[in-house]
Structure 1
Amino acid sequence: MGIRAVNQSLFDSYHLGDLRLPNRVVMAPMSRVRAAAGGLATPSMATYYAQRASAGLIVSEGVQPSLVGQSNPGTPGLHTDEQVASWRPVTAAVHANGGRIFAQIMHGGRVSHPDTTGLRPVGPSAVAAVGEVFTPTGPQPVPVPRALGTAEVPEHAESYASAARRAVDAGFDGVELHGANGYLISQFLSSNANLRTDRYGGSLANRVRFAVDAMEATVDAVGAARTGIRLSPGGTFWGVEERDVPELYALLLGELARLEPAYVHLEATADDDVLVALRRAWPGTLIMNPVLPMGPERAGRPDADRWLGLGADLISFGRAFIANPDLVERMRAGLPIAPEDAATYFQGGDTGYVTYPSYQHAG
């Protein structure tokens, strides 16, 4: 498999739906667990995102569409009027700095805990995730979820659409459904988290149904141009497994294509040949997260150029944006990329959040 010559630059503009992005750099969604009680966005969150507004597009941290959909403590929501109001200063700050921001809507499904939400987690089947989940009292084993009844599944698909309406009301430019990394949509796609025998499980067509239903409801709610989805083909986060990955995702992308969403956002969780085949199968905009999320490597300019050569339209960067609010400018000018402090990822507070400076040129 050869890499074709890069025929576009990371710093070229791009039309995404109704938006004109000044560059092809996307800030990937990253949980930073800085929300206030009640899932409210904060002034520090406004500062954090506004500092990074030179990205072509910002995708927010995962935002729960319902209380039962909350995975971790300290994460923000979009299911109450108070949450909507709290997000408005955040989106206004990004727009004031010339940026564009989508809200990532993340339903944790089985990756949650009653100590966090007061509710038993739900999932496609009564199969626990692998690992420990954060709770207000520290990490605890993930409990066995309650399997959703067939009649309940549509309301959870609709919860993404309801959150999307609230996101637009809060000033977001659009939404990204979190269909990756072992959370609810990913659980339905999985062959070991989803043991259902009804219309939402078993065959490939049934395993993609929840993802398609959630996307269709969201497109109906806020429009295709404001709706994207993130996927992790073959990913094994939280113990999920997927059989028939090329076929499963080719079928899913075929179903999504008829909805004409703004984009599909793929993670580098499968071999290049699988991902390139999905790029060829997808007729719309592709955002590529070019290295394994939470893996040993941090994405950089060479990874971006490589994937632009393989056909991606936009490139998302995660960790590099944490310590480099001016990441676009640093990459454009070939300036050093500062290292991030992993100890401050999830500790709360402003240190390691809004305290990273832009590059300081010698006077």
Structure 2
Amino acid sequence: MANSQYQKLINSTQILQELRNGPKSRRYLVQNLKVQPSTVTYSLNRLKDLDLVLSSNLVSLDNHKKGRKSTQVFLNKNAGVVFGVDLLVDEFKVIISYLDGTLFTEINEEFNDVIITAEKGSEKRFFQCINYILSIIEAKCCNTKIFGGCISVAGIIDFDGLTVIKSLTHDIVNVNIKTCVDNKKYPVYLENDANCAAIKYRKDSSDSFLYSLVRTYYNHILPDGVPYLGVGMGIILNGKLYRGGQSKAGEFVNFVYQEGKQNRQLDINNEDLMQLNENKASLNLFINNYVDKLLFTNALLNPRTIYLGGDSEIWNDKILKSISERFPGKSEEEIKTTFCFSFLNHTEDDIAYGASHLMLDFLFHMPCINCSEQHWEQNSSPLLKDL
């Protein structure tokens, strides 16, 4: 097994994972990975052949013995890029990152009706949007290798990362993008928008927290009949995205929902939901309903924190007041500490950045054989396909 292709992938991936955290010496890699020096040398040579690893002329700090100086090796961030996309109905945001996660470039653009001609709420329009975005990204990266990308969508995404099971915002059901991206030299996957936003805030491989994403839209840009407000919940448990048994965990679906009477996510009817900006009573109804769900979720999962992001920042004071009214004996600071809420501001980049980070995690993930649950992140990484 030691000389098998799988073992070679494991060895090279372990080295790359170490180098994601900064330059390392060969001695460090041998000691930390508990492998033979010849194994590290072989793997590094192969990674250098792929232009993924470079050597530094700097002498390693762990060089404490006489003899040959121990130089450092580091990840070649310029070997290529990945991208993350926040795809909305009328606009999109793209973050393109180097392999070390630093910014290559970003794109903010509204869709041009001359280019995107298909009707809103159609599969054809969804494909047009994706094709247009990919063409813009490829133009920006004309002389740079693209290793892959993740496109965030407000909705329920299948474990395969290629199928939109249902998206209220885009008004599409069971749409698979495989034929749309099959001709690309790099993989493209879909992910729920709240899940992408959550990834940006993950601290380490054991972190557990939630990211509550509220998004509002102008009615005129949405397909007819689509609620202008949506709520998503990105759930990270023990460092991993939790999608639930049917990939619906991030959609904040209310268990008391009744078809035709309520919004599909909150027990508030659509008529009240559409009047949030004009009707104080409707806004209070939403805030109280939203807070009830947050407090219940906090008590059930006991996360490190619940980040409140997206468009909810305009209601942060009202949300905090609603919580305070339930616990009159506690100050605002005590409430934030007790219930672990983190009120975020300026989160417009969270989703695209998170999608980019998720693609980087995919590139550097450990190869998986015979996994019981096959999510798209467990597919073969394109980073080492030529190893």
What TM-score comes out, normalization by structure 1 length? Answer: 0.28
Who wins on radius of gyration, i.e. which is larger?
A: 2
If each structure's strand is expressed as a fraction of its own residues, which one has the higher value? 2
